[in-house]
Amino acid sequence: MISTSQFRNGAAIRTDGKRFTIIYFQHVKPGKGGAFVRTRLKNIDTGAVVEKTFRAGEKLESVRTESRPMTFLYKDGDLYNFMDSGTYEQIAIPAEVLGDAEGFIVPNGEAKVLSADGEVVSVEPPAHVDLEVTETDPGLKGDTATGGTKPATLETGLVVQVPLFVNVGERVRVDTRTKEYLTRV
């Protein structure tokens, strides 16, 4: 159990039968009435963000979470197999758990795997990844960095907008948070 006085950003709690991580919290002591804690919570399972208020001193069930760096090994059907870099233990994670991260996971690539109560709930890729361009319109003489963009399909199937001078076979760095082209590698 965890009391509202023990709230910390990033802590995990269970309320209304759902698991949440605390994004933000604020203790409020109004002039009239009892104190309370205003929170912004992110649902661990769905990613939805909600705001909730608790009475001061209220006790909630805590959720044990663990984030471990893992290496992606291979894809088997719709299962992604990862290996713990420290223990060499392998786990298979369904594609629906990866969500948007699926386009940034490459063989031998690193990712952080978040587990809650022993169950894998999300996979977070690094801030940026280097991927090869597999399909795009050819670059033409006179194309410049400021001249515009074109869609490019990367080795994972992800489609991003790249400058006109980028060609098939080149490697590009992509920001995983915004899905935007950063630079050629």
Residue-level pLDDT, tens digit, the chain, 185 residues: 888 888 888 788 888 888 888 888 988 888 888 889 999 988 887 778 899 999 888 888 888 888 888 888 888 888 888 898 888 888 888 887 777 788 888 888 888 888 877 778 778 888 888 888 888 888 666 656 566 788 888 888 888 888 888 888 888 898 888 888 888 88
The predicted pLDDT at position 51 comes to: 92
Choosing from 42, 62, 82, the residue where a domain stops is 62
The predicted pLDDT at position 139 comes to: 67
The sign one gets for the Cα dihedral 142, 143, 148, 151 is positive
Say yes or no: 115 and 133 in one domain: no
Say yes or no: 118 and 140 in one domain: no
The predicted pLDDT at position 149 comes to: 82
CA-CA distance, 160 to 58, in Å (whole number)? 47
Say yes or no: 139 and 171 in one domain: yes
How many whole angstroms from its chain centre is CA 123?
A: 6
Domain count across the chain: 3
- How many H helices and E strands in the chain? 1, 16
The predicted pLDDT at position 141 comes to: 61
What is the domain extent for residue 115?
Answer: 65-124
CA-CA distance, 23 to 125, in Å (whole number)? 20
The predicted pLDDT at position 147 comes to: 67
